[in-house]
Structure 1
C-alpha cells in the first residue's frame, strides 16, 4: 500500500466514527462555499443566516499564510496521474473557512505557521515558502512522525498533525476526493450472495436449497414465508 492509499485508509477509519472536523456542515463544500441563504437552504434562523454570511465574507489568514497553507496541503496530498492535488480540490479555501467557523483553530494554526517559518529561517535562512521542495520536505520530515520527533520540535509536530487532519478531511469531502474514494452512496443493486472465493477462504458453502430460495433473483419481489417451525418455505 502506497503513502496516499495509507492516508485514505486513515481518513476512512476516522470517518467511521465521524468526521475529523465535527463542525463542518455538509452543505459547505471546499470548492465553492456558498452562504445557505444564497444556496436555497431552508430551515435556518435569521441569526444563523447572518452568521453564515459573516463567515463567508470575512478573512482570517493573510495572503502569505494562505500561500504557505497551500504549499503544505500539496506536500501532504500532491496530484496523482488520475486525480488533482489538495489545492485543486479547494482544500486551502476549506481550511480558511474552518478557522472562521471553529475559532479554536485560529491560534494553533497561525502559531504553527509562525513556527514553521522560524524553523525554516533557522535551518535555511529563508521562509518556508521560499525554500526548495527538498528543503521543505526535510523540514516536514522532522515533524511528520510524532514517535520519532525530538522534543525540540513538539510544537511543529502538533501543528503538522492538525494540518494533515484538515487536509485529509478537506480533500476527501470534496467532489474530487469522493471520486477518488469511489464512494457512490446508497444505490439499489442485485445481491447474488457471498462470492465463492470468500466462502472458500472461510471453509464455508451455501446449501443448494437455500441458494434456490434466497439467492434466486427472479424471486426478488416474492415475500418470504415461514412455517410454524421457523423453516423458510419460499
Structure 2
C-alpha cells in the first residue's frame, strides 16, 4: 500500500458523515439572483459574526514567502501528485494551513519554530536552506523525522513533522480534489436495484420479473410510478 492510499484509509476510517446541500435554481434566474444564491451556499450555516471573522483572517498574513515555500515543499512530499489525483499544493493545502494557524493561534509558535528548525537542520547537513537543497536531500531530512528511530531523541523535528502532516492531510482530504479522490459523496442517494440475488435464494424467494421491470428500473427512479399502468 502506498503513502497516499494509507492516508486515504486513515481518513475514511475517521470521517464523519456529511451533508451537501444544493438549491433548485431556475434557468430563468438573473445573474444577480444566481450570485445571491451562490453566496448563500458558501455562507450556509455561518453567522454574520463568523463570516466577518473569516474575512478578517483572510485579509491577514502570518507566514513569510520563504515559510510558505517550505510548507508547499513539505505538503507535496507528504501528498505528491500521482496518476489518481493532484498534489497537496494544487489542492490549496498551503493556503489552508496559512488560514488555520491564524484561526487557531496555538499552531503558530510550533509551526514557525519547526520551520526554523528544518532550515537549521538543512544548513547543518547540506549547507543550504531547505528549499534550496535537492529533492533527494529534502527527502533524506524528512525520512529522518518521519521515521525517527535513529534520530536524536531530543530533536523537535519528529514532533513538528507530525503536526504539519496532520494539517496537510486535513487540508487535502477536506478539499474538492480530496473529496473526489475519496469518492466521498455525502448525503447523495444511490441507486437501489432490489434485494441481492444471493439473499433472495437464501430465503427461497424471487422477484416477479414483470414487476421488477416497472418498479426497479434505475433509469426511472426519479419518476412516480402509476400503478394503474401495471397489470398483475
TM-score scaled to structure 1, two decimals? 0.72
Q: Aligned pair in 2 of structure 1 residues 149, 105: CA closer, same or farther (>3 Å)?
A: farther
Name the CA distance, whole Å, in 1 between partners of 2:46 and 2:79.
Answer: 35
Aligned to 1:14: 14
| Cα deviation, residue 191, structure 1 | 4.2
CA-CA distance at 1:194 after TM superposition: 4.8
Q: Alignment length, in residue pairs?
A: 196
Equivalent positions of 1:100-139 (< 5 A) are 100-139=102-141
Match of 1:206 in 2: 202
Q: In 1, are the aligned partners of 2:12 and 2:182 still within 8 Å (CA)?
A: no
User: Separation in 1 of the partners of 2:189 and 2:45?
Assistant: 27
Q: What does 1:1-234 correspond to in 2, within 5 Å? A: 1-16=1-16, 39-40=39-40, 41=43, 44-145=46-147, 148-152=149-153, 154-185=155-186, 186-194=188-196, 196=198, 206-209=202-205, 211-212=206-207
Q: Show structure 1 runs of 4+ deviating over 6 A.
A: none
Q: Give the structure with the larger helix fraction.
A: 2
Structure 1 Cα separation of the partners of residues 129 and 197 of structure 2: 55
Q: Once the 2 structures are TM-superposed, how far is the Cα of residue 188 of structure 1 from its aligned partner?
A: 3.6
| Structure 2 counterpart of 1:33 | none
CA contact (8 A) 2:91 2:178 kept: yes
**Cα distance in 1 between the residues matched to 2:15 and 2:189:** 20
Question: 1:212: Cα distance to partner?
Answer: 4.0
Runs of 5+ consecutive residues of structure 1 not aligned to the other structure:
19-25, 28-37, 223-234
Measure the CA separation in 1 of the matches of 2:155 and 2:13.
25
